[in-house]
């Protein structure tokens, strides 16, 4: 081993959690090095959140062309040019990388392309992408290595060379018939976008429905949306084997409750969850334990089982969202500065960027029922939202669960631009404000946010008989 180069901090992984740690400590004047084996900035700006939302928006534009007559616009000859869609995505990604490089430079934190692994306590060896190795030493090591698409051990699946989100984002030719395995949010966003570009799309889901963890009214709304968009959904499906090659012709052998069937398509996309990037990193060399799922074991301060080593983001098993990776970074940063922050009980908002959006925070109605938590339900249709009417996007609803002492327990919205409603509701929840605080706001007319006033004006009043466990 060469003589280690001494740093104040080593960060492995330049995704959301890692880059913020590197930039922050670097800007404080510490000698910091960040290691990145693939993409500067990690998944979000390169192959996940941002390029997928870029694709979703191109698909929205295509849907406007399809709906032109509804708006009094008579479209002429038009077609989707996937090469153009891809070029727009690439411009965004290239820009993102430049912004990241500038931030590394500005914060005087070093970024090195290569794969890092523990070779001894507090010591990392990096196999440089350009060739050769460097040995680094620090009393503070931050692991933020993220996750990758899971390829399940289904016979023939690997051999069929399926697309993951990475290759699907780079398609320059529209698939004739795209089969998507997995009806979670990644699968749903791709399904709708590709359908709107004109592909035939079939989603194969092993659970009884798409987004099966959501409330029944949400699932019903999603199913109706996909039906109306012309997306085929095969639920309750076990894939026994795969034959063929994605991009040419691929066959899925399915076991359904009704019997066996074979589904044939031109392309296959797998979206069946994430595998943490925690292999071959020498974690065992320094006593860093992992969970049975392969995540790095951390406590609620994101400390690993080795002193001076923290793990953040997807690799630590935190909910897989960029904003959660960012909050992991903030938790560790603040604790380094003497605070006592934990990840326990924090809000985990999310938004699925299908069209219309699905946004949620807090308790779900089905969870409240299961746990016998009393609540009052308020729910309004997007049809009553005047802004939604003006833009002809009246599909969906917003709903909230309210406690007997007027606190908001949970909020779910399925409708146009509803992801933007979350922070207002979150603020009320985190400040422990009663729902009436939102109800009494003067909200600009006509905005989608006005729906919050409508929603919280419709909370059933408490009567001697309410709230019954499970609402009404």
Ligand X SMILES: Cc1cc2nc3c(=O)[nH]c(=O)nc-3n(C[C@H](O)[C@H](O)[C@H](O)COP(=O)(O)OP(=O)(O)OC[C@H]3O[C@@H](n4cnc5c(N)ncnc54)[C@H](O)[C@@H]3O)c2cc1C
For ligand X, the binding residues (CB under 6 A) are 12-18, 35-39, 42-44, 48-49, 52, 115-116, 144-147, 165, 186, 277, 281, 313-315, 320-323, 325, 353
Classify residue 133 by its DSSP letter. Answer: E
Considering beta carbons, is residue 254 or 288 the nearer one to ligand X?
A: 288
The least CB distance from residue 67 to ligand X, in Å, is 24
| Strands, sheet with 238-245, edge to edge from the N-terminal-most edge strand | 238-245, 249-256, 259-265
The least CB distance from residue 217 to ligand X, in Å, is 23
Contacts of 123 (CB under 8 A, 6+ apart): 1, 4, 135, 136, 137
Query: Using CA atoms, how far apart are residues 15 and 326, in angstroms rounded to an integer?
Result: 9
Considering beta carbons, is residue 313 or 471 the nearer one to ligand X?
A: 313
The least CB distance from residue 245 to ligand X, in Å, is 23
Considering beta carbons, is residue 425 or 438 the nearer one to ligand X?
A: 425
Considering beta carbons, is residue 312 or 388 the nearer one to ligand X?
A: 312
- What is the torsional sign of CA 182, 115, 47, 311? positive
Crossing angle (nearest 10°) for helices 185-197 and 49-66:
40
Other C-beta atoms lying within 10 Å of the C-beta of residue 106: 11
The least CB distance from residue 112 to ligand X, in Å, is 9
Residue with tokens 């908001």: 408
In terms of C-beta density within 10 A (0-12 exposed, 13-18 middle, 19 or more buried), how is residue 227 classed? exposed
Considering beta carbons, is residue 12 or 191 the nearer one to ligand X?
A: 12
Considering beta carbons, is residue 13 or 415 the nearer one to ligand X?
A: 13
Measured from each CB, the residue nearest to ligand X is 146
Considering beta carbons, is residue 14 or 272 the nearer one to ligand X?
A: 14
Exposure letters 69-90 (e unless 16+ CB within 10 A, then b): eeeeeeeeeeebebeebbeebe
The least CB distance from residue 138 to ligand X, in Å, is 15
Give me the phi and psi of 263, to 5 degrees please: -110, 125
The least CB distance from residue 363 to ligand X, in Å, is 20
Give me the phi and psi of 290, to 5 degrees please: -120, 160
The least CB distance from residue 316 to ligand X, in Å, is 8
């Amino acid at each position: 081993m060469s003589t280690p180069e001494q740093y104040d901090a080593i960060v492995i992984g330049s995704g959301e959690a890692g880059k913020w740690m590197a930039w922050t400590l670097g800007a404080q004047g510490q000698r910091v090095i960040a290691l990145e084996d693939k993409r500067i900035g990690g998944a979000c700006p390169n192959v996940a959140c941002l390029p997928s939302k870029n694709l979703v928006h191109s698909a929205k534009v295509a849907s406007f062309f399809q709906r032109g007559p509804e708006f009094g616009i008579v479209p002429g000859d038009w077609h989707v040019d996937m090469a153009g869609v891809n070029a727009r995505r690439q411009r965004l990604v290239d820009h993102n990388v430049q912004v990241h490089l500038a931030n590394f430079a500005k914060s005087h934190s070093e970024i090195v392309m290569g794969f890092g692994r523990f070779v001894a306590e507090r010591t990392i060896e990096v196999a440089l992408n350009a060739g050769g190795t460097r040995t680094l030493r620090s009393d503070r090591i931050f692991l933020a290595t993220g996750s990758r698409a899971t390829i399940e051990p289904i016979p023939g699946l690997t051999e069929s060379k399926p697309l993951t989100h990475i290759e699907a984002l780079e398609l320059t030719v529209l698939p004739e018939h795209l089969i998507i395995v997995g009806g979670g949010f990644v699968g749903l966003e791709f399904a709708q976008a590709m359908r709107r570009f004109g592909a035939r799309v079939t989603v194969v889901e092993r659970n009884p429905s798409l987004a099966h963890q959501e409330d029944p009214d949400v699932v019903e709304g999603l199913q109706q949306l996909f039906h109306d968009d012309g997306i085929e959904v095969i639920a309750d499906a076990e894939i026994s084997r795969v034959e063929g090659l994605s991009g040419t012709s691929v066959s899925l052998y399915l076991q359904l409750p009704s019997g066996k069937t074979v589904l044939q398509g031109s392309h296959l996309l797998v979206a069946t969850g994430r595998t943490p990037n925690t292999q071959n990193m020498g974690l065992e060399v320094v006593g860093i334990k992992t969970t049975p799922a392969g995540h790095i074991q951390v406590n609620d301060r994101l400390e690993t089982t080795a002193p001076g080593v923290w793990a953040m983001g997807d690799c630590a098993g935190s909910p897989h969202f960029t904003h959660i990776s960012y909050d992991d970074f903030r938790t560790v940063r603040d604790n380094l500065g003497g605070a006592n922050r934990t990840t326990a009980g924090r809000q985990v908002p999310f938004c699925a960027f299908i069209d219309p959006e699905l946004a949620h925070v807090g308790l779900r109605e089905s969870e409240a029922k299961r746990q016998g938590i009393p609540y009052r339900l308020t729910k309004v249709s997007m049809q009553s939202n005047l802004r939604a009417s003006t833009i002809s996007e009246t599909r969906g609803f917003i709903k909230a669960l309210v406690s007997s002492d007027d606190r908001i327990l949970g909020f779910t919205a399925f409708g146009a631009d509803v992801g933007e409603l979350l922070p207002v509701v979150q603020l009320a929840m985190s400040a422990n404000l009663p729902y009436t605080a939102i109800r009494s706001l003067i909200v600009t007319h006509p905005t989608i946010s006005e729906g919050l006033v409508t929603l919280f004006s419709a909370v059933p009043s408490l009567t001697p008989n309410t709230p019954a466990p499970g609402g009404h």
